[in-house]
Amino acid sequence: MRIPPQKRVGFRPKIG
């Protein structure tokens, strides 16, 4: 369950 950096620009995966 990891979110690629592309989905969260400016935030690391799993961190946001």
pLDDT in tens, the chain (16 residues): 666 666 666 666 665 5
pTM of the complete model? 0.06
Q: Quote the pLDDT of residue 1.
A: 61
Phi-psi group of 13: left, alpha or beta (phi > 0 → left; psi -120 to 50 → alpha; rest → beta): beta
Q: Quote the pLDDT of residue 12.
A: 63
Q: How many CA atoms lie within 13 A of 4 on its CB side?
A: 2
Rounded Cα gap, residues 7 and 2, in angstroms: 10
Q: Quote the pLDDT of residue 8.
A: 60
Phi-psi group of 9: left, alpha or beta (phi > 0 → left; psi -120 to 50 → alpha; rest → beta): beta
Q: Quote the pLDDT of residue 4.
A: 65
Q: Quote the pLDDT of residue 14.
A: 63
Rounded Cα gap, residues 11 and 5, in angstroms: 7
